């Protein structure tokens, strides 16, 4: 039985996400962990916002795959940054806490989407999510934070 288009798309997205970790390591060495997180997270969210706006399913899949090619680059960069700024005896706990918080956020997202995806809420939800993302990202790229990046 051949895989369906949805399965193939999800597989390709996950393969791209996994391969992006290698590119993330290179980026962290070149521009630092904080800049890698910022410079990959914002375009990733812009691409995600663009997916439902695409005029055809093929273009939507292409944009989604482009999004997945950079969407996980902030994870190894964040892990490297956290490990660099905490004391050696606190690294395991710090890594665990940041991963648990991220996992809880990811697991809560489908519930929140369901709650806020009522027809009367959809425009407000999209606008709020986009505004929150664009407000959060620049605040993470402040010069004070950028100087603490890992090379």
The CB-side HSE value for 63 (13 A sphere, CA atoms) comes to 17
Q: What is the pLDDT of residue 147?
A: 41
The CB-side HSE value for 79 (13 A sphere, CA atoms) comes to 13
The CA distance from 109 to 32, in Å, is 29
The CA distance from 9 to 15, in Å, is 10
- pLDDT band for position 148 (cuts 50, 70, 90): very low
The CA distance from 95 to 81, in Å, is 10
pLDDT per residue as tens digits for the range 111-134: 776 776 666 665 666 666 666 655
The pTM for the full model equals: 0.64
27, 69 contact by CB (below 8 A): no
pLDDT per residue as tens digits for the range 56-113: 989 999 999 999 999 888 888 888 888 888 899 998 998 888 888 877 777 777 777 6
Token reading at 109: 């997202």
Q: What is the pLDDT of residue 49?
A: 87
Q: What is the pLDDT of residue 123?
A: 62
3-state secondary structure at position 149: coil
């Amino acid at each position: 039985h051949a895989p369906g288009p949805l399965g193939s798309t999800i597989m390709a997205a996950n393969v791209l996400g996994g391969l992006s970790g290698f590119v993330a390591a290179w980026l962290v060495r070149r521009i630092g962990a904080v800049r890698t997180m910022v410079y990959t997270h914002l375009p990733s969210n812009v691409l995600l916002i663009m997916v439902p706006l695409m005029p055809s399913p093929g273009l939507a899949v292409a944009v989604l795959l482009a999004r997945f090619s950079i969407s996980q680059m902030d994870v190894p960069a964040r892990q490297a940054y956290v490990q660099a700024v905490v004391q050696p005896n606190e690294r395991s706990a710090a890594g665990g806490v940041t991963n648990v918080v991220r996992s809880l956020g990811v697991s809560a997202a489908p519930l929140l989407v369901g709650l806020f995806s009522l027809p009367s809420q959809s425009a407000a939800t999209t606008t709020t999510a986009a505004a929150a993302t664009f407000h959060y990202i620049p605040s993470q790229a402040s010069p004070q934070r950028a100087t603490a990046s890992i090379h």
